[in-house]
Chain A
Amino acid sequence: MNSSPENSLVVQNLKVSFEEKDGMLQVLENVSFSIQKNAFACLIGPSGSGKSTLLRTLAGLIPYESGSIEFPEVHGRKARTGLVFQKANLMSWRTLAENIALPLELANFSREEIDKTVKEMVELTGLQGFENSWPHELSGGMAQRVAIARSLVQDPDILFLDEPFGSLDELTRERMSEELLRIWNEKRKTILMVTHSISEAVFLADRVLVLSGFPQGIVLDLPINLPRPRDEKIRYSPEFAQAAATLHDHLKF
């Protein structure tokens, strides 16, 4: 397979099905796409089209039946992945800092390294002063920041986000989108984010992939050529509206 070197992820003819009581349930078929290094891609699709399943399969949580998922090496080593869920999924018995430290503890990093990295991530995500707070003391937006910080501690090359702001209110959601862009700018990661919001996808992404349900796969791969850095005003530009309209046409709800 000759994947071009600038790619961070290459998926070809991916097929995923679940075992059910009465046979196999086909979820994904003919899914092929690739994402360039350091690109911000959004994955959008009607509910039930298998967006979350696709993301979980890429993150290694679900086995796939056939096809291939390739992460080209980065600086001669295996690419690392990170995953952020729709729910923050914090451990209620760990403080904010301890929650962020979890992946490093599991990977047996030294105490000094853990403290240093956690401090850096707390600053990056704007959580200073809350290191010793318990999860139940945090708002939804704060909790999701912790989840993002936790996914970044291992310095992943590619970050998967599964509707990370889906449970937040509109205003917090927009703020978090901008924060995410800032972090992406600072850290330069490849990002693949599942969302069901067309405007969120257009605002954030370099490319929007539209996934249609079984057995169609990716039905549209739309480049978003809006200038960066983007701010709120861009949402009212004609190019934005054009892209949103195109996406809307390809989503059959």
Chain B
Amino acid sequence: MAIRTKTDRENPFLQKVTQQRWLLPLVSLFLFLGIWQLLYTLLGLPAFILPSPAMVWTKFLEVFRNGIWWHNTSYTLLELALGLFFGSVIASILGYILSKTPVLEKLASPFLVGSQSVPVVAIAPLIIIWFGPGLFSKVLICALTVFFPVLVNVLVGMRQVSQDLRELMDSFKASKWQILRHLEIPASLPILLGGLRVGATLSVIGAIVGELVGSDRGLGYLINLGRGQYDTALVFVAVFSLIFLAASLYSIVLFLERRALKWQTWQET
């Protein structure tokens, strides 16, 4: 006869704490702020080396009120949105074409392998030199960063579409378009979104590097500006905004992934 024993899992307090998904991240955030404040007080460094959390918050409110924050954040956001959109759409279409034409795929494979080993960030300065410091070069950098992870994942996803299901679609005399819509897209979507998730976070880095190399607007520009004026609090504001942007992007893609995989939600409940 089986005997149920009381374990940690049945501790009502722990259960409540772990059920609140926002509670633990909040605790870690307060811990981080506390340690920061402690370091500031103990080390007594000048504000241009390490500002206090309060000083950074004040700075944020200042640039938020006078519009500087949104002026720059919206620009980076625009670069990311355009770059992610065009990068992933073009990569998906090209990935589909490559997966259907093995000759082209073999032709492209050295570039695909190469792209995995050279971060796009490394060629960001080149792109700025060629296309100038405007919006286009940053969008291009973002698009390129997201392009290769998505392209590779589309190829992998298409290869993983079950041969049995292809035969099933054939038995219904489905057209190429119907096979794409009812089989290939839904079957490879989870893998594609996985690539997009990786690409989205990387593309934030791409955008910032582009702005650091040459720009007169954006969060990267704000970092440069703060550094030049020894306004370290401003640098902190820009960095935290970046973290927020990257985390939001990640969450959006994660949300899309959950939606696409709603048939698996039983694992969570």
Contact = CB atoms under 8 A, between A and B. Distances in A.
Contact of A91 (B171, B172, B173, B183): B183
Using C-beta atoms within 8 Å of the partner chain, give the interface range for chain B. Answer: 20 to 34
Interface in B141-183: 162, 164-165, 167-174, 178, 182-183
B174 to A, nearest CB: 5
Contact of B167 (A61, A102, A136): A61
A105 B182 contact: yes
A68 interface: no
A24 interface: no
Interface of A is mostly: loop
A54 to B, nearest CB: 15
Given A92-B263, A93-B186, A134-B266, A87 B164 contact: yes
A106 B266 contact: no
Contact of A85 (B167, B183, B187): B167
Given A60-B171, A89-B165, A137 B182 contact: no
Contacts of B174: 106
A134 B182 contact: no
Contacts of B266: 134, 136-137
A106 B178 contact: yes
A136 B267 CA distance: 11
Contacts of A27: none
Q: Give the secondary structure class of B's interface.
A: helix
Chain A contact residues (Cβ within 8 angstroms of B): what range?
Answer: 20 to 34
A85 B187 CA distance: 20
Contact of B172 (A85, A93, A95, A106): A106
Given A105-B182, A137-B266, A59 B171 contact: yes
Interface in B183-199: 183, 186-187
A152 B162 CA distance: 23
Contacts of B263: 92-95, 134, 136
A46 interface: no
Contacts of B186: 91, 93
Interface in A79-96: 83, 85, 87, 89, 91-95
Given A85-B168, A91-B182, A136-B266, 13 more contacts: A59-B171, A61-B171, A89-B162, A91-B165, A91-B186, A92-B263, A93-B187, A93-B260, A93-B261, A103-B172, A106-B169, A106-B174, A136-B263
Interface of A: 59-61, 83, 85, 87, 89, 91-95, 102-103, 105-107, 134, 136-137
Q: What 3 A-B pairs have minimum CB-CB distances, sorted nearest first?
A: A134-B263, A83-B171, A93-B186
30 contacts: A59-B171, A60-B171, A60-B173, A61-B167, A61-B170, A61-B171, A83-B171, A85-B164, A85-B168, A89-B164, A91-B165, A91-B182, A91-B183, A91-B187, A93-B186, A93-B187, A93-B260, A102-B172, A105-B182, A106-B169, A106-B173, A106-B174, A106-B178, A106-B182, A107-B172, A134-B263, A134-B266, A136-B263, A136-B266, A137-B266
